[in-house]
């Protein structure tokens, strides 16, 4: 298994540009999520999904959209990039066993710089 | 989710045990204690979790006090590769209840 993969690894955007960060997992996990991590800070949840067709907002959803058309993929879209969105973005996945969420697996991250 | 308090940083000598404390005095009965770590520039890595009994796996041991208001993560023989930020997270592992990462403890393992 490749686990959780993210593309691109690095990206530079100009203010106002839009882009999509890709996340894929091959473990058939129901749950997927996006976090951002600013320098010297902990991770903050942006959006999450508990299954295909189901998404919900996390702690810091403004400026981001997500969709979950398949179990494997969970792309994060920046609608109009702002310098405040400069961060490292991590995608994660996990499964549920008897209603309990098991350990989360994280991708390697996408480093985004917005000028 | 219950709030957690961890020291900002700790040092440990290579080969010695690293004991990382976490206070979670407002933990409720159905909340678990999770530990993750993040090695520089990498994605977080799961270490261990528990409800009320002590737990051990190939990476670490988790000691939870009887009143569950605090816990300690133990790395029995720390190596330089264990240098990382360690996060203690308390949560109910339900479908809509996501991981909330705080500041964590920066562990520096020194030769």
Tell the burial category of B71 from Cβ atoms under 10 Å away from its Cβ (0-12, 13-18, 19+): buried
Residue contacts between A and B (CB atoms, under 8 Å): 55
**Cα–Cα dist A83/A112, whole Å:** 10
pLDDT of the residue at A46: 94
Nearest to B107 by CA among B16, B23, B9: B9
- How far apart CA A86 and CA A51 sit, in angstroms, is 28
Q: In the structure encoding, which two tokens stand for residue A89, read together?
A: 């973005």
Please tell me the total number of residues recorded for chain A in this structure.
115
Q: To which H or E segment does residue B84 belong?
A: strand B84-91
Quote the CA–CA distance of B7 and B22 in Å, as a whole number.
8
Rounded mean pLDDT, B11-37: 94
Q: Checking phi first, is residue B68 left (phi over 0); if not, alpha (psi -120 to 50) or beta?
A: left
Query: How far is the C-alpha of B77 from the C-alpha of B35, rounded, in Å?
Result: 17
* A34-89 pLDDT, tens digit each: 999 998 788 899 999 989 999 999 989 999 999 999 999 999 999 999 999 999 99
8 Å CB contact of A56 and B96: yes
Residue B95 confidence class, pLDDT cut points 50, 70, 90 = low
For residue B87, give both structure tokens.
Answer: 């996060």
Would you state the pLDDT for residue B1? 61
Strand partners, B88: B35
pLDDT digits (tens, 9 = 90+) for A81-104: 999 999 999 999 988 777 677 788
Check B96 against A50: CB less than 8 A apart: yes
Q: Are strands B32-38 and A43-51 parallel, antiparallel or unpaired?
A: unpaired
pLDDT for position B40 = 86
Q: Higher-confidence residue: B18 or A94?
A: B18
Q: Is the peptide bond before A64 cis (omega within 30 degrees of 0)?
A: no
Q: Which residues pair with B71 in a beta bridge?
A: B22, B64
- Specify the pLDDT at position A43: 86
pLDDT of residue B12: 96
Residues of B in contact with A101 (CB under 8 A): 93-95, 97
Out of A4, A42, A44, closest to residue B104 by CB: A42
Average pLDDT over residues B15-39: 94
Q: How far is B63 from chain A (nearest CA, A)?
A: 19
């Amino acid at each position: 298994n490749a686990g959780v993969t993210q593309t691109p690894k690095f990206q530079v955007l100009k203010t106002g540009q839009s882009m999509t960060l890709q996340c894929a997992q091959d473990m058939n996990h129901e749950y997927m999520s996006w976090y951002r991590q600013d320098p010297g800070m902990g991770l903050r949840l942006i959006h999450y999904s508990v299954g295909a067709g189901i998404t919900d907002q996390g702690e810091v959803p403004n400026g981001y959209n997500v969709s979950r058309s398949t179990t494997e993929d969970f792309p994060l879209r920046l609608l109009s990039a702002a310098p405040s969105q400069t961060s490292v973005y991590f995608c994660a996945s996990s499964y549920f066993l008897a209603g309990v969420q098991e350990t989360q697996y994280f991708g390697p991250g996408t480093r985004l710089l917005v000028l | 989710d219950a709030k957690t308090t961890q020291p900002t940083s700790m040092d440990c000598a290579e080969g010695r045990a690293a004991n990382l404390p976490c206070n979670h005095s407002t933990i409720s009965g159905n909340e678990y204690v999770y530990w993750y770590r993040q090695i520089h520039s990498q994605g977080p890595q799961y270490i261990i979790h528990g409800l009320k009994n002590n737990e051990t796996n190939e990476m670490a041991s988790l000691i939870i006090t009887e009143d569950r208001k605090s816990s300690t993560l133990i790395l029995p023989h720390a190596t330089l590769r264990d240098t990382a930020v360690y996060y203690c997270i308390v949560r109910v592992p339900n479908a809509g209840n996501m991981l909330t990462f705080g500041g964590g403890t920066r562990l520096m393992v020194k030769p």
